[in-house]
Structure 1
Amino acid sequence: MEIRNSVKAIIIKDGKILTIKCVDKLGIFYLLPGGGQKPGETMIEALKRECIEEIGVDVEVHDLKLIREYIGRNHEFSDEDKDIHQIEFMFLCSIKEGEIPKPGNNPDSFQESIEWIPLKEIEKYRLYPQSARNILKNLGENKTIYLGDIN
């Protein structure tokens, strides 16, 4: 099992967080925009590339806010994810002036669309990582938070 680095964008505007709307066998779920880091690519470069691919916009990357470790065999999807060990670095980002999010040029196969979720209702959504929903809702000028192995 190899460890994979992944980067995610936390984009908040007008009390809403930008997400990728996806579908699996259980129905609709949501993820933060982002994806895997390629060899020779910095995390910032990876995040900017992934945002163009998934939400069709160039982002400004700001502070690292959350670090999540996901060891698949420890969670609800252990049958499918037993060989996955991923570390996600979640950065606060903003959309560059004049850019409007839209499905990007290289979305993931399970991606349906993009959706702004109201932060005050975030608990109602199947947003992963689920354990971070309340933290995202109350994200402020806090220091970087290591979330551990959560789903």
Structure 2
Amino acid sequence: MHPLRVSVRAVCYRDDTLLLAEHRDERGLWYILPGGGIQHNETLDIAFKRELLEETGGEADMGDVLFVREVIADKLDTTFLPQHLHQIELFVEATNFRDVATPSQPDKNQIGTIWMPLERLPSLLFFPKTMVEAFQTRQFDRIYQGHIM
């Protein structure tokens, strides 16, 4: 049996930029929002703050859940996700972001963070790519977005 994983991702805007975790692997550069798995007995707000600090060295206030996506690796044509991964991701608004330290535990292949101009999102290898327009317009029309990449 493969457990369902729940994770939280911080959606942090500064002017017309979005804070992204920058990664490099055999695909080249790719980008995701900072965040990760919620640990056993950890609340969503604590996981939000821990993951943000680990991956960006920053702190922010946790706002509202903007949307939820589901990822089921076995239903996708990719070899870059762990086999049998089934993950629910909560994308949460981050407000009042402030740099406080250096990232303490970047993800595998993470080379840094970047404030990415919103107009550049369509040209990046960015996940979830189907949500680029919503991130650019800051309009999230539904909470549950379904199984998307």
TM-score higher than 0.5: yes
Residue matched to 1:8: 9
Residue matched to 1:82: 83
Structure 1 89/126 Cα, relative in aligned 2: closer, same or farther at 3 Å? Answer: same
CA contact (8 A) 1:30 1:127 kept: yes
Structure 1 108/55 Cα, relative in aligned 2: closer, same or farther at 3 Å? Answer: same
Q: Which runs of 5+ in 2 are unaligned?
A: none
Counterparts of 1:112 and 1:76 in 2: how far apart (Å)?
A: 25
Residue matched to 1:48: 49
CA contact (8 A) 1:102 1:114 kept: no
Task: State the secondary structure of the residue aligned to 1:35.
Answer: strand
Residue matched to 2:22: 21
Counterparts of 1:101 and 1:147 in 2: how far apart (Å)?
A: 33
Task: State the secondary structure of the residue aligned to 1:38.
Answer: coil
Residue matched to 2:73: 72
Counterparts of 1:79 and 1:115 in 2: how far apart (Å)?
A: 22
Counterparts of 1:80 and 1:106 in 2: how far apart (Å)?
A: 20
Residue matched to 1:148: 146
Percent sequence identity is 28
**Superposition TM-score, scaled by structure 1 size:** 0.90
- How many pairs align? 148
Q: Which runs of 5+ in 1 are unaligned?
A: none
Structure 1 79/95 Cα, relative in aligned 2: closer, same or farther at 3 Å? Answer: closer
Counterparts of 1:2 and 1:63 in 2: how far apart (Å)?
A: 26
CA contact (8 A) 2:59 2:99 kept: no
Residue matched to 2:60: 59
Structure 1 80/53 Cα, relative in aligned 2: closer, same or farther at 3 Å? Answer: closer
